[in-house]
Chains A and B, each alone.
Chain A
Amino acid sequence: MLISKRKSGQMEMIGLVIIVILLSLGMLFMAQFALSEDGKKKIFTRKGLAYSTVSALMKTTVMDVDCTNNYGKWTKPQIGKDILEDCAKNFDYSPGGYSLYTCQGMHSCEFLEKEITLLLNETLGEWNKGYVFRSKLIKATGDKPELIMGPIQSGGGCPKSKERDGSGLFPIHTEAGLVETELFLCD
């Protein structure tokens, strides 16, 4: 009888050891999935896309036939260099008031907001990317930035709590101050 009891104890120990081994293996697998982080390539792609989007937008020439300048002459201004600068200078007269460029009968700020919303929707929106686009004007050093365009967003925007990457600030020096444009992308 005594001998049998001793043998049973050994069997139970082996059983416990096997269970511990199985549990450890299971936890190892779980840890592998939990600890895997976002690929560096994914972050690079998002940053690159954000940068290229703003860069391309700023350079885009407005080829709308109904775009005139102050002299009533048909013109092809660029979004960043011409229209955004005009918007910054004449933001106080928006909407409906004076602006150097008038496209589709609208104030430059109004037209720009409409056009950028459309362009971003046709590209980033079509690819189901969440984004938020803003342009701010800093009139003088130390002044609080004033939002002159946006936020233009989709997919719920990109709050700081979400994983997001920015294009970086695209500064434009204008007579009205420094205009900083930024686009954030989040999946």
Chain B
Amino acid sequence: MTETIAVLFIFFILILFGIIFYAKYQQVAFKDKQEELLAARAMDSTLKTLFLPELICSKGEAEPEDNCFDLMKLKYANETFGKHMDDYYFNIFSYARISITETYPNSDNKWVIYDKEKVKEDGNGTLVPNWDRREPTYFIVTIRDENNEQGQPEYRLGYLTVEAYS
């Protein structure tokens, strides 16, 4: 009789350990899944940005150029995105920061075309950041400048950074 009780007691202790272990595993797995979804969101936003009609280098009736941003459009893109952020572009990019940085020839040039940070109101009514981390994705692009002295398009080197807020 006592043996049976002892065995059952140990059995239930083991079950308890199993449940605790599974709960911990679920926590870690959930966090991993969140990170995976964040990375996927950053990648999706990068893909969408690379093919945005608002930025791509068009060539008349021909196919647009790959991985290329038109500098004349780029300069005014953030104005349009900012104006229609809440009613339209947020549905494309969600909480993210999208910027294009020139590497060559002038590394001082940077354009932040979209920035929607996750915020919350603190006790005083001030807006404070409400995100844990930013997942950046990089893509190297070419920036076409047609507005130059030569009259021929010049291609600058740069990169696109898409940071998704978690």
Contacts and interface: CB of A to CB of B under 8 A. Distances in A.
Given A11-B3, A61-B156, A119-B157, A56 B138 contact: no
Interface residues of B, number: 33
B160 to A, nearest CB: 9
Nearest to B66: A55
Interface size class for chain A?
A: 20 to 34
Contacts of A69: none
Majority secondary structure, A binding face: helix
Majority secondary structure, B binding face: mixed
Contacts of A60: 104, 142, 155-157
Interface string A43-63: 011001101110111011101
Contact of B140 (A15, A39, A44, A56): A56
A84 B9 CA distance: 78
B25 to A, nearest CB: 7
A18 interface: yes
Contacts of A51: 67
B28 to A, nearest CB: 11
A61 B155 contact: yes
Nearest to A53: B140
A44 B141 CA distance: 17
Given A63-B105, A123-B159, A45 B43 contact: yes
